[in-house]
Amino acid sequence: MTKDEIRGTVLRALGQIAPEADLSQLKPNLRIRDQLDIDSMDLLNFVIGLHKEFKVEIPEADYPKLATLDGCVDYLASHGGT
């Protein structure tokens, strides 16, 4: 999976938890949480969405690495985003 493909899948998972958000406006280097007003339950749903899409086990301690869109893409690319 290329980084662009990973990015597309991450955005799709975000769309599941924030269907009303305009994700084209999302700044890739800023915290997703602040831009989309999501809470811990949304975050968990997002992580579960990533887990299902990428078949990767994400420990709770790694959640901070998923704070931004860029962070998500890097993390998933290096953790076998197949």
The residues that touch other proteins, with contacts defined as CB under 8 A, are 16-21, 36-42, 44-45, 47-48, 51, 57-60
Give residue 59's Cα distance to chain centre: 14
To the nearest whole angstrom, how small is the minimum distance from the Cβ of residue 63 to other proteins? Answer: 10
> Min. distance of Cβ 76 from other proteins in angstroms?
13
Closest CA to 77 of 10, 6, 9: 6
Q: For the CB of residue 80, give the shortest distance to other proteins in the complex, in Å.
A: 15
Nearer to other proteins, 17 or 76 (CB): 17
Per the listing, tokens 């989309």 go with: 36
For the record, the structure tokens of 30 come out as: 């800023």
DSSP at 60: G
